[in-house]
């Protein structure tokens, strides 16, 4: 933290921010015409502009919010802004320009209309943080438009399986990747008997399903399962209710499936037995966390802090990764044509440095970004998965989530 605060650099960073996040002028119409082929003379490539958009739908609010985890207003968007800044700082050497336009949609609003508005305005790369059903609506509605969609938020396994779409790439890890990452670590620790506590939302049900699949995949045993039915806000009575709710006999670790955050935070230290917790709370599998420092991560954290005056959260990281995936692919294509960028994202030698020790890349069979997953508690990154010893013929990263043989995705 001490490194992050530097007044002079801060001022400089802020100045760049203003410049880099300038929104579109409406005069984008001429951009709509198919770009002239820049292939003729690569050395004298014309200036290329990558028009990137973000649609974020504000998720439903939990019944209560722990003061430390109140979501910032610019959650996610801040990461996209840093992605633009990093892309610009690199792209200027090649005369590449990157712009960002953002639409924040209220919980009850229509993200499709927002997406259409951005695409009509000239956006050809669109990052989405919307629920899975909305993402499918948008993907299908824009199927014949010249726009590449990047899912930066929805963790649904179905979007990588039966509901995958050819025009969508995923930088957000899906639930199976997250729970596989956790399972590998718990098996490494020999904590193989799990007690699964499930919340009442659909997301919780899907998270629990992913936990069960990971247990099966890596040889853990779910010795008990319960649904949390003590009401939405049991903070005041946790000390008496949680011990009763957790009397299920012997187990090694309590795994929580509570994506909304109704009860996960009140379980630790209130359980009947002295056991650790993991899952959506406790030891959490995440794409990113402010305590991540190694492999150059502290540089990304510090750039983010300078630009936004707060810590970088998983959605910020995912948005950064989505924008920078386009930015870095664009450095190689030197063309903002979506077809070329798309081909580059899927090229065998494409790699995206994500500050997690090894490069990330997209799985050709479902367009999921394969990447290491952090296991962190509130104040420390404990480890990253894949764990040592989980081998794979292609890359250990493919031990997390859906490998090619398990894929039910048909992209064409």
Partner 1 sequence: MTRRTTLSAGLALAGLLVALEAAPALADGRAFVSNERDHTVSVVDLTSMTLIETIKTGRRPRGITASPDGKLIYLCASDDNRVEVYDAQTFKLVKTLRSGPDPELFVLAPSGNPLYIANEDDNMVTAVNVENNELVAEIPVGVEPEGMGVSPDGRYLVNTSETTNMAHVIDTKTNEVVENVLVDSRPRYAQFNHDGKQLWVSSEVGGTVAVIDPANWKIIKKISFAIPGVNKDAIQPVGIRITKDGSKAFIALGPANRVAVVDTRTLEVEKYLLVGQRVWQLAFSPDEKLLISTNGNSNDISVIDVASEKVTKSIAVGRLPWGVVVVP
The residues that touch partner 1, with contacts defined as CB under 8 A, are 2-3, 6, 8-9, 12, 86, 89-90, 93-94, 296, 299, 302-303, 306, 324, 328, 331-332, 351-353, 357-359, 391, 395-397
Report DSSP state, residue 17.
Answer: H
CB of 204 to partner 1, least distance (A): 33
Orientation of helix 314-333 relative to helix 297-308, angle to 10°: 110
Whichever of 6 and 212 has its CB closer to partner 1, that residue is 6
Neighbours of 272 (CB within 10 A): 13
Whichever of 6 and 377 has its CB closer to partner 1, that residue is 6
**Alpha carbon distance 10, 189 (integer Å):** 42
CB of 358 to partner 1, least distance (A): 4
Whichever of 112 and 360 has its CB closer to partner 1, that residue is 360
Strand, helix or coil for residue 134: helix
CB of 353 to partner 1, least distance (A): 5
Reported for 244-248, long-range contacts at CB under 8 A and 24+ positions apart, including other chains, are 244/272, 245/197, 246/195, 246/197, 246/270, 246/271, 246/272, 246/273, 247/272, 248/195, 248/223, 248/224
Whichever of 230 and 295 has its CB closer to partner 1, that residue is 295
Whichever of 33 and 39 has its CB closer to partner 1, that residue is 39
**Alpha carbon distance 91, 99 (integer Å):** 12
CB of 344 to partner 1, least distance (A): 13
CB of 326 to partner 1, least distance (A): 14
CB of 354 to partner 1, least distance (A): 9
Tokens 């050395």 sit at which residue?
A: 43
Whichever of 89 and 273 has its CB closer to partner 1, that residue is 89
**Alpha carbon distance 265, 281 (integer Å):** 6
Whichever of 263 and 320 has its CB closer to partner 1, that residue is 320
Whichever of 12 and 343 has its CB closer to partner 1, that residue is 12
Q: Which of 132, 386, 101, 109 is nearest to 259 (CA)?
A: 132
Whether 332 and 344 have beta carbons less than 8 Å apart is answered as yes
Peptide bond into 386 cis (omega under 30): yes
Which alpha helices (DSSP H) does 105-174 contain, by range? 111-120, 132-141
CB of 126 to partner 1, least distance (A): 23
CB of 96 to partner 1, least distance (A): 11
Strands 193-198, 373-377: parallel, antiparallel or unpaired by DSSP?
Answer: unpaired
Q: Which residues contact 133 (CB under 8 A, 6 or more apart)?
A: none
């Amino acid at each position: 933290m001490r490194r992050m605060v530097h007044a002079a650099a801060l001022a400089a960073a802020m100045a760049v921010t203003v410049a880099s996040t300038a929104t579109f002028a409406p005069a984008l119409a001429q951009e709509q015409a198919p770009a002239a082929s820049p292939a003729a003379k690569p050395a004298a490539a014309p200036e290329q502009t990558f028009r990137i958009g973000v649609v974020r739908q504000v998720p439903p609010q939990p019944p209560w919010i722990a003061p430390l985890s109140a979501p910032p207003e610019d959650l996610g968007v801040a990461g996209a802004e840093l992605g633009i800044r990093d892309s610009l700082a690199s792209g200027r050497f090649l005369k590449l320009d990157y712009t960002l336009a953002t639409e924040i949609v209220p919980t009850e609003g229509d993200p499709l209309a927002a997406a259409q508005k951005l695409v009509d305005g000239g956006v050809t790369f669109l990052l989405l943080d919307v629920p899975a059903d909305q993402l499918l609506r948008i993907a299908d509605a824009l199927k014949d438009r010249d726009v590449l969609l990047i899912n930066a938020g929805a963790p649904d396994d179905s979007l990588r399986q039966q509901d995958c779409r050819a025009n969508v790439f995923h930088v957000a890890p899906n639930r199976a990747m997250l729970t596989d990452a956790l399972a590998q670590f718990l098996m490494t620790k020999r904590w193989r008997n799990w007690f699964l506590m499930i919340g009442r939302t659909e997301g919780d049900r899907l998270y629990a399903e992913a936990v069960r699949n990971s247990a099966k995949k890596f040889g853990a045993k779910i010795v008990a399962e319960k649904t949390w039915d003590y009401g939405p806000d049991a903070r005041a009575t946790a000390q008496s209710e949680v011990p009763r709710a957790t009397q299920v006999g012997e187990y090694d670790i309590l795994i929580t499936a509570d994506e909304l955050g109704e009860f996960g935070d009140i379980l630790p230290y209130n359980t009947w037995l002295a056991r650790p917790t993991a899952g959506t709370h406790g030891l959490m599998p995440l794409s990113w966390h402010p305590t991540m420092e190694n492999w150059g991560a502290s540089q990304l954290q510090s750039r983010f802090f300078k630009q936004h005056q707060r810590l970088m959260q998983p959605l910020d990281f995912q948005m950064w990764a989505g924008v920078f995936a386009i930015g870095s692919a664009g450095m190689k294509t030197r063309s903002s044509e979506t077809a070329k960028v798309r081909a580059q994202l899927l090229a065998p030698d494409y790699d995206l440095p994500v500050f997690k020790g090894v490069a990330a890349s997209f799985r050709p069979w479902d367009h999921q970004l394969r990447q290491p997953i952090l296991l962190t508690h509130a104040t420390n990154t404990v480890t990253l998965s894949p764990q040592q010893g989980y081998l794979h013929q292609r890359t250990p990263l493919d031990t997390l989530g859906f490998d090619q043989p398990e894929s039910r995705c048909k992209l064409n």
